[in-house]
């Protein structure tokens, strides 16, 4: 392919982000069928034990990483400190 002149092969790309996941079942919900109705289980729930794994959190973190252009992920881990007002000063003023 590299020697073919009709195909314009790129050897370098612009800076980008990519996440590779080997198993597509990470985004699959189990469905419980009762009679004529169907009820989807929460994402990441094991149908035998009922344990919920962190699939939802993982996928949300992946999407935030991929679309993060201005440090949104850093803002999520930032700790906020509450600054309480001075009660005596509030009463006087």
pLDDT in tens, the chain (93 residues): 677 888 888 888 898 889 999 988 888 888 888 888 998 888 888 888 989 888 888 988 888 888 876 666 666 666 777 888 888 888 888
In a domain, 6, yes or no: no
In a domain, 48, yes or no: yes
Model pTM score:
0.57
In a domain, 52, yes or no: yes
Structural domain that includes position 30: 24-92
42 half-sphere exposure, CB direction, 13 A CA radius: 9
In a domain, 15, yes or no: no
Number of structural domains found in the chain: 1
Calculate Rg over the CA atoms of the chain: 25
């Amino acid at each position: 392919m590299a020697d073919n002149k009709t195909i314009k092969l790129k050897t370098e790309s612009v800076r980008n982000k990519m996440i590779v996941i080997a198993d597509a079942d990470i985004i699959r919900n189990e469905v419980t069928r009762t009679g004529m109705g169907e009820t989807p289980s929460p994402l990441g729930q094991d149908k035998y034990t009922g344990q919920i794994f962190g699939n939802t959190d993982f996928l949300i973190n992946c999407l935030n990483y991929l679309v993060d252009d201005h440090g949104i992920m850093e803002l999520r881990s930032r700790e906020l400190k509450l600054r309480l007002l001075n009660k005596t000063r509030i009463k006087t003023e």
